[in-house]
Amino acid sequence: MSLTLQPFLVTLTYHPPITNKNPFLSIPRSSLLPDHSSFSPLHNNAVKKPTNNGTKSLIQASSTKLSSITLEKDASQGTIFVIRTQDKTGFLDVITRVLKGFKVENFNVQFEERDDCYVIKFVVTDLGGKKIEDEEKLLKIESALKEGFNEGVVVRKAGYVGGKSNINSNSNSDRMFELMDGFLKNDPVSLQKDILHHVEYTVARSRFSFDDFEAYQALSHSVRDRLIERWHDTQQHFKKKDPKRLYFLSLEFLMGKVNAWVRFGRRPNGSKGQHPCRGRSLSNSVINLGIRDQCAEALSQLGFEYEVLAEQEGDAALGNGGLARLSACQMDSLATLDYPAWGYGLRYQYGLFRQIIMDGFQYEQPDYWLNFGNPWEIERVHVSYPVKFYGNVTEEVVNGKKCKVWIPGETVEAVAYDNPIPGYGTRNTINLRLWAAKPSDGYDIESYNTGDYINAIVNRQKAEIISNVLYPDDRSYQGKELRLKQQYFFVSASLQDIIRRFKDVHGNFDEFPDKVALQLNDTHPSISIAELMRVLLDEEHLGWKKSWNIIIYDINFAFMEELKKKIGQDYSRLSRMSIVEEGAVKNIRVANLSIVCSHTVNGVSRAHYELLKTRVFKDFYELWPEKFQYKTNGVTQVKKINKMRLAEYIETMSGVKVSLDAMFDVQIKRIHEYKRQLLNILGVIHRYDCIKNMEKDERKKVVPRVCIIGGKAPPGYEIAKKIIKLCHAVAETINNDDDVGDLLKLVFIPDYNVSVAELVIPGSDLSQHISTAGHEASGTGSMKFLMNGCLLLATADGSTNEIIEEIGSENMFIFGAKISEVPALREKDSTIKAPLQFVRVVRMVRDGYFGFKDYFKSLCDTVENGKDFYLLGSDFASYLEAQAAADRAYVDKKKWSEMSILCTAGSARFSSDRTIEDYAETTWGIQPCKCPF
């Protein structure tokens, strides 16, 4: 048992005995506390009658009237706690929460009419039945009990719908309140009842005949029920406290299952906590609710295995890559740290795409992830907003002033789908609201009434296509238009929802900056800046100055006029800083728009920050240096090394059997020239060439390698697709060469997603992060590998520089040009002679050693003849030296283990909890708002 104490708060973490899996207290079953349902009213006034206050609230926080808590420490059997309280409602929740991890016996409740209060007595000992002698510990438990009773507990309040009472009598009110006083129980028997209930009534299967997938669905609904309780309480608590809220806008959220968790990070009260990453919803939810063992026991008695059911859940196709994973981790940390936050995104029908590999070539197919439904989402059919497109603008007079009115040519409905995000170690459960595009009812009815059924179908398809696919291919004009419509649809619906929620409580927009913080994740939601100004001016009818600048051209005009006063007629600089890029076709620079309209610009690593200052936004930094900050991104930890599971997956997936003694060398990223998967493949070719030219005795000294590459190429990115094909062509040659055997294998993992990452990341020995210096903003992937004890082979790019500070360069394999050296190397590229090893391996590809000679010609052209923009040739010799250093370290098992341990130990800084706390304090200006138990 570990004990972490703070003033007025006690947090206990323990490992319960095998003989007892009770979710509340580790005590013998004969002396368990009675559950909520076993308490009947002990006095006529035991249940407080709700009063009709005319509000819409269905939940209220009830403060218990506490008289005193006393301790009888001289009792021979243990310490007797005596609690005197005037309200019994919810006291069991407080006691079980505070005393979790202790043994409680001789529980007794009596009502004293003389003092009009309840007297609760119970004996507390440690788990071994021994008396607690630590005086300080007893005092802190006493303080925690007082805090719990004084803070109050969440109780259900029935009878008010839409602001009107539906209770006809006091007896009905009492009955409703009694029925709703308490939460769903989490013991195995209660869970079994709920699971079978959902099998019969939600999944509509016989409770005597249902399979693993149907059991998963029933279990998911049972867990979701418990999340909804907490979600309602959290939102009601936020509404009551009215804190400043954060609204997190991101086009991507990539959820992933939790395999393991390690102790790290800081809870809001400063204590260390155990905190899993936001994952596939079932695994994440049962861990955060603290009911994983109870679920496993309940399922076992029904003839099912929890792990088998957990694998029934597919990956939600809501994102791709580091940005999406980062968004998911940050939402998880916002919930865990009790911040009042909402996430907004899109509910993609098909996600990005499913990557299919045929003969080594990538093909794209829709990802039908919603075909069998999503039990975790809650469709809010009553929460929808019209999103307008096209049309024209007219003028109307409102309150004596001329106002612009948008008459749309097309309207699409944004329908909300809510996804509860539970925090760990807290009751707080926040919300991720995803929007789906649906046709406007008016257009459908009009088409059907006129018999134009084809047009009705076309209108539906035109609407729904907006949220069908993540990042529509924008090589064509139609693709660019669709991507813009998708981004506007997303921000318009989100802002309407945010403003509606603000106006529910506040009548004056002067309070808006004090109650709303917007986080725009990447530049995709940047159009929200202009849309917010449009809404404030045209729909809320605020004045010009009050709503600042309204549309992009007006914002740009005002900005340019102000800029001219500061820098004069420097037209070159004015052109660079303009929001509108002039030309035959005007383009909007959304990055410039974001800088002009935001109060803070955050780099996601120190290297990224320096790059923004000195190169990317140098002009803006010189104008507004105070706007620029950096917060190194963080992720949440996963820790479970299992090379055997990864090897089994590789064999099942590709038919390639790999040696567990080999170093598992991994590069898992989206395929792009700057991420330099081609450098990795050329390095593999060099290793293969060296082995082929060795004598048999020399080969005995070779460190075996299993080189693993995975990632998707954008559909229109031909060079990236050719890199994937080259990987397969090289693998075909190497994996079937008996001279090489287990000394070298090359594997490409298709359709890489979070579920596969859960196998790959824990099973990796070495992870490559080899982007050309200056191109990687952060690189959160390296942090995930680091946390799992995987060593890094990397360039000094993105967050790698800060990782070096934490664990030391001696525990990594660093190579390649520095950020400051890259520009000069590019200027000299045509005159720099590439190393002979590089020339040889490129020549092998160009000459058709691995086949497809003509197909790979254009790929080879990108790294030769002065066209090596990403400096593969310049960095190749250094890359091979780093690989040789990794070989030497791997042979020394003791040294490798020490380096691995230091990687994990030094990774705490890269927790998403730390990132979120930094943002909350210095950027968003929000405070934790913890929902009481």
Whether the model pTM is above 0.75: no
* DSSP letters for 116-147: TEEEEEEEEE-TTS-----HHHHHHHHHHHHH
pLDDT band per the 50, 70, 90 thresholds, residue 149: low
| pLDDT reading at 448 higher than 60 | no
d(CA 549, CA 518): 17
Instruction: Dig out the tokens for 676 from the structure.
Output: 């330099």
For residue 72, what pLDDT is reported?
67
Handedness of CA 881, 882, 886, 889 (dihedral sign): positive
The structural domains of the chain, ordered by start, are 2-182 (no CATH), 245-550+920-924 (3.40.50.2000), 643-910 (3.40.50.2000)
Segment 14-26 shows an average pLDDT of: 30
Q: What is the pLDDT of residues 150-202, one digit of tens each?
A: 654 444 433 333 344 444 555 665 665 566 667 889 999 999 999 999 999 99
Segment 14-33 shows an average pLDDT of: 30
The amino acid that residue 409 corresponds to is G
Segment 814-823 shows an average pLDDT of: 92
Q: What is the pLDDT of residues 482-530, one digit of tens each?
A: 999 999 999 999 999 999 999 999 988 888 888 998 888 877 788 888 8
Q: Which of 265, 264, 261, 289 is nearest to 276 (CA)?
A: 261
For residue 553, what pLDDT is reported?
54
Segment 648-667 shows an average pLDDT of: 94
407 φ, ψ (degrees, to nearest 5): -100, 105
Name residue, tokens 């004009």: 477
Q: What is the pLDDT of residues 544-554, one digit of tens each?
A: 566 553 354 55
| pLDDT reading at 331 higher than 60 | yes
For residue 227, what pLDDT is reported?
95
d(CA 250, CA 522): 7
273 φ, ψ (degrees, to nearest 5): -140, 165
In the chain, helix, strand, coil percent, each to 5? 45, 20, 35
Segment 231-235 shows an average pLDDT of: 93
- Please return the burial class of 350, using the count of CB atoms within 10 Å of its CB with bins 0-12, 13-18 and 19+: middle
Q: Which residue has the higher pLDDT, 810 or 76?
A: 810
Instruction: Dig out the tokens for 846 from the structure.
Output: 């160009």
Region label for 568, one of left (φ > 0), alpha (ψ between -120 and 50) or beta (otherwise): left
Q: Name the average pLDDT for the chain.
A: 80
Q: Which of 138-147, 674-683, 757-766 has the highest mean pLDDT?
A: 674-683
For residue 441, what pLDDT is reported?
67
Q: What is the pLDDT of residues 874-932, one digit of tens each?
A: 999 999 999 999 999 999 988 998 899 888 888 877 878 888 888 888 888 899 999 88
Q: What is the pLDDT of residues 368-392, one digit of tens each?
A: 999 889 999 999 989 999 999 999 9
How many beta carbons lie within 10 A of that of residue 686, not counting itself?
19
For residue 12, what pLDDT is reported?
25
Lowest mean pLDDT among 14-28, 197-211, 382-396, 618-632: 14-28
Segment 820-826 shows an average pLDDT of: 91
* DSSP letters for 460-502: HHHHHGGGTBSS---SSHHHHHHHHHHHHHHHHHHHHHHHHHH
| Helix, coil or strand: residue 242 | coil
Q: What angle do CA 733, 734, 739 make, to 5 degrees?
A: 110
Which residues 6+ apart lie within 8 Å of 574 measured at CB? 560, 563, 564, 567
Kind plus residue range of the DSSP H or E element containing 459: helix 453-464
For residue 686, the number of C-alpha atoms closer than 13 Å in the C-beta half-sphere is 20
| pLDDT reading at 230 higher than 80 | yes
For residue 358, what pLDDT is reported?
95
CA 761 to chain centre: 17
